[in-house]
Chain A
């Protein structure tokens, strides 16, 4: 019922580098950390719990000096609750474990995180949540990340190594893309939705990608979902009249997803070949994986369902605990078949922190 696989840990900052405007990659080192999978997240304390929760430690004050009302003493707000962050990558080394977090500075906790220095202590709790279910070995994975939804896609790409995948990454504008855009990768045309090897983090796992910006400052001009639709049309995966096609596959993939408790081990990484953007037709339907702003994810879910494609969505909700106790992170799902009937309702709330964050697009009512 409760595996002692989750705990509180104190990590050491191994690196904290700006990636682009407002985005940082924070590398956290710790001696050991339970097994994790893409889609899972950790709760990070936006303050040093050892120092800030110790009322015996008093702020130095010399008589005659007025308290600093703009500084740490009175005005600097610190986050009280922890904040959830997706794992963006993980490396197990002889010295321990390194966890990658990519975050965008939007408020008190992320601002505090952006100021961390190498060697600082960071209190984390996890790993939390369920995970993405990897596609069948011969199935194509289509990763769709928008803004701060890109980090979990990077971890997923790490695990997909060797499997066929293609990534779509979108942002408002080029300098909000927390990605390594390969030097040789001149911007493709503003209407190009052909996946190419232009994002370092994906290319090293043999995954070609399409970059979109709302303002056209790099790559496809428009929403990532527009590029995705055109790409799927190009693969012959068109909108269906009745949604009949592929329904059997969809059902079996969904039940695979729900039943599966094991992870397929990452196979050997393959070198990106120029052909990797050319997709071989396969009997297995591609699976869509997405994380990003909610309107984007809803659109991806619609695009997938119109074409009868399975779609796994990592949702983000405001979370206080991340452990299934506060009931703050609820999201509406179609009423599960096995659930107790609730008077007059054909939906139920599920918790994004423990039932999710990954849900099947076809289950979500948002």
Chain B
């Protein structure tokens, strides 16, 4: 078996497959359908300080090659997370990354602070970009606030890697990426969903109760690849900050594409709804691809894409 392991900001992952927050529950929801022990890491649903009921239904609608969701961060809240979910997470057969969302600096700091002392939490991912919640401050599109938030959270989370999940709903994703890195992020993940809308033409009304939702699935993959490539080249590579690539990953070929563009790991979201075992299948596909291509370490692929105008890494002519 080729070496699929990757190093994500100090976390040794057996392979580069993660789950996307919000598409895999809190812990064992997919245990019947996939081998959780073969995940690189498991990422929980976003946790907020207070429990949230979420938006009114309809919360999802399928669109061509994708779906819109406006769940509204429905989650059990920090207290119930600690009481009900952490005991389950202690039994998870893979590293666990807790995704944290909030509406104020205090929200994030308190929730992330509670993760610092938990042995079963290998790292924290900040959701600064949920497009489906109207209350509270927006962080994901505001570089100054984002840098400050990252710095404040890093202070209460000194011993664990902090991944900041970037919103694609910005003019220039390298600007928010840079702000996050300056704030002290250990890793970046991108992308979250794209704000979008669908209309029922017969009823002449929006198909989601929330009017807008986040677009995910295969439809967004090419844009996500482009954003990963840009952030890798403009910010992440020179800063030595790894990227978790996501957005439309379904099969191993997608994972290779993200890694060539600069992602150290990839996360599978919407595709889990159709095939919860897809991360396991991606690992098998990656191993076969490495054999065929003569790649010994998967991490050698990361960012190895050469673009016109790049300095050639190795010249075929001596």
Contacts and interface: CB of A to CB of B under 8 A. Distances in A.
A30 interface: no
Interface in A303-347: 317-318, 320-321, 323-331, 340, 342-343, 345
Nearest to A56: B253
B74 interface: yes
Contacts of B24: 325
Interface residues of A, number: 39
A2 B31 contact: yes
A86 to B, nearest CB: 19
A82 interface: yes
Interface string A67-87: 000000000010111100000
A147 to B, nearest CB: 18
B28 A80 contact: no
In this complex, the interface size class of chain B, counting residues with CB under 8 Å from chain A, is: 35 or more
A80 B57 contact: no
A320 B67 contact: yes
A53 B277 CA distance: 13
Contacts, number: 109
A323 B33 contact: yes
Contacts of B23: 321, 325-326
Interface stretch (A3-11, A95-103, A130-138): A3-11
Interface in B254-284: 270, 272-277
Interface of B: 22-25, 28-33, 45, 50-51, 53-54, 57-62, 64-67, 69, 71, 74, 79-80, 88, 217-218, 250-251, 253, 270, 272-277
3 tightest Cβ-Cβ pairs between the two chains A and B: A2-B31, A328-B60, A325-B25
29 contacts: A1-B28, A1-B31, A6-B33, A8-B275, A8-B277, A49-B274, A53-B251, A54-B251, A77-B64, A79-B62, A81-B62, A81-B273, A81-B274, A82-B274, A125-B33, A317-B57, A325-B29, A325-B30, A325-B45, A326-B71, A328-B57, A328-B71, A330-B59, A330-B74, A331-B57, A340-B51, A348-B53, A349-B53, A349-B74
Given A320-B62, A331-B57, 15 more contacts: A1-B28, A2-B31, A7-B32, A53-B275, A56-B253, A80-B62, A80-B66, A80-B217, A318-B60, A321-B23, A324-B29, A326-B22, A327-B22, A327-B74, A330-B57
